[in-house]
Amino acid sequence: MHMETFYGILIPFLGTSLGAACVFFMKKSLSDRVQRSLTGFAAGVMVAASVWSLLIPAIEQSAALGKLSFLPAAIGFWTGVLFLLLLDHTIPHLHRSSEQAEGPKSRLHRTTMMMLAVTLHNIPEGMAVGVVYAGYLSGSAQITAAGALALSLGIAIQNFPEGAIISMPLHAEGMKKSRAFLDGVLSGAVEPIGAVLTVLAAQLIVPALPYLLSFAAGAMLYVVVEELIPEMSQGTHSNIGTVFFAVGFTAMMILDVALG
Weakest-pLDDT range from 40-54, 137-151, 160-174, 189-203 = 137-151
Cα gap 170→156, rounded to integer Å: 21
d(CA 226, CA 62): 29
* Whether the Cβ atoms of residue 34 and residue 179 lie closer than 8 Å to each other: no
Q: Report residue 260's pLDDT band, with 50, 70 and 90 as the boundaries.
A: low
Amino acid at site 102: E
Residue 145's pLDDT is: 75
Q: Strand locations in 175-233, DSSP E?
A: none
Give the pLDDT confidence score for residue 250 in this predicted structure: 93
Question: Quick one: what percent of the chain has pLDDT higher than 70?
Answer: 91
Percentage of the chain with pLDDT > 90?
11
**pLDDT tens for each residue of 128-148:** 888 888 888 877 656 777 778
User: Across residues 178-192, what is the average pLDDT?
Assistant: 87
Q: pLDDT tens for residues 237-248?
A: 678 889 999 999
